[in-house]
Amino acid sequence: MTDTERPAVVIAEDDDDIASLLSEVLETAGIARPIVVANGALVIDAIIASDAPLLILDVQMPGASGIDVYDIVRNHEALADVAVLFVTANPGIARETLTGRAPREVIAKPFDVDALVAKVRELLGPVPTSV
């Protein structure tokens, strides 16, 4: 699958090391084109510009918290189908704060790379095959 055939995945993470690791994992697995933003306020524009079907989101970020970004995404008509995966050092806070809200997934940091890849594949759905 060529780079342009892989779906974009927006990674909203302010820790450079974690953002690089997430990006590298998605690239190495060949399942997505990662687009990294370090500030929650930049997420919406990045999703719209890239037509990303998946957002990987940290809870604590500058500009707008991951919870705030999640609420904006869920209330934005053009982003209603974007899947959201929280990758956070505070999974309890994410789960508690998001109780009763629209579906989303939460993975704790530090995360298992294989489990992350499996979850991303699941959220992206079937990958188109080339003839």
Strand partners of residue 105: 85
Q: Give the structural domain span for 19.
A: 8-123
The CA distance from 8 to 5, in Å, is 9
Going by C-alpha positions, the residue among 9, 18, 16, 91 that lies closest to residue 55 is 9
Contact predicate 36/16, CB 8 Å: no
128 is a domain residue: no
3 is a domain residue: no
130 is a domain residue: no
62 is a domain residue: yes
CATH code, domain carrying 114: 3.40.50.2300
**How do the pLDDT tens digits run along the chain, 131 residues long?**
566 689 999 999 999 999 999 999 999 999 999 999 998 889 999 999 999 999 999 988 888 888 899 999 989 999 989 999 999 998 888 888 887 776 678 999 999 999 999 999 999 987 554 44
